Amino acid sequence: MQNILIIEDEKRVADLLQKGLEENGYQTMVAYDGAMGLRLFRSNSFHLVISDIVLPNLDGFELCKEIRKLNAKVPVLMLTALGSTDDKLEGFDAGADDYMTKPFDFRELTARVKVLLKRETGTASRSPQQICYADLSINLDLQEVKRQGNGIKLTPKEYKLLVYMVENAERVISRMEIADKVWNTHFDTGTNFIDVYINYLRKKIDKEFEVKLIHTKPGIGFILSDKL
């Protein structure tokens, strides 16, 4: 049985999540503040974390960063009333995999939970250990990125986006595909999330190098190539 950690300070919401998830066959544990959630995460094994952002003692952004230090792969779904673009970007930068705003439809929540858990169970068989394109290399085990041998520090979401682009090098990738394959969700693709992260990557991957790898195809999407 898959075990889910719920971190939510509103008892009514926490009870709703726990009851609904257990009715769908999941095992759950609940924490009512960030510090308690971190303690439970350290002492138990979880397949998924659902966390609010505005929490007592330790907010959801800092909690997610601490979780990522302990486990880089466990999916984290942020569930919060904070719905601005900046809030969502900060959540993704902290290491979150998905983001839902309150109030939420529980059917949509369970659908996203299934997607995240399916992805989590499939990561163990991933190969090869390293992928390369041109002078760019990515160590998948250590999640280390280098270009011309120089280390490049990326946020978790920047890293996932870059891996997907390298795995699909020389092919134009649409914003819709990136939303589906990198974010594993169906947020409004009319927002500028993807363009923001492409720009983040360009500054880190291309800015200091003569050959640019990340290119925009206006009206279509993006492509990683050293031939343009």
Provide the 10 A C-beta neighbour count for residue 218.
5
Rounded Cα gap, residues 168 and 202, in angstroms: 17
Kindly report, residue by residue over 28-67, the tens digit of the pLDDT.
999 999 999 999 999 999 999 999 998 999 999 999 999 9
Q: What is the pTM of this model?
A: 0.63
Q: For 100-122, how does the pLDDT look when each residue is reduced to its tens digit (9 = 90+)? A: 888 888 999 999 999 898 876 65
Q: What is the pLDDT of residue 125?
A: 45
**92 vs 67, more confident:** 67
Contact 17, 31 (CB under 8 A): no
Q: What pLDDT, in 10s, does the model give residues 140-167? A: 888 899 999 999 999 888 999 999 999 9
Other C-beta atoms lying within 10 Å of the C-beta of residue 43: 7
Residue 126: predicted pLDDT: 47
Indicate the DSSP class of residue 173: B
What pLDDT, on a 0 to 100 scale, did the predictor assign at position 182? 85
**Sign of the torsion formed by the C-alpha atoms of 181, 185, 191 and 196:** negative
Is 110:133 a contact under the CB 8 Å cutoff? no
Q: Where are the domains of the chain?
A: 3-124, 130-224
Q: What is the CATH number of domain 3-124?
A: 3.40.50.2300
pLDDT-based confidence at 93, cuts 50/70/90? confident
CATH class of 130-224: mainly alpha
- Average pLDDT estimate for 188-203: 82
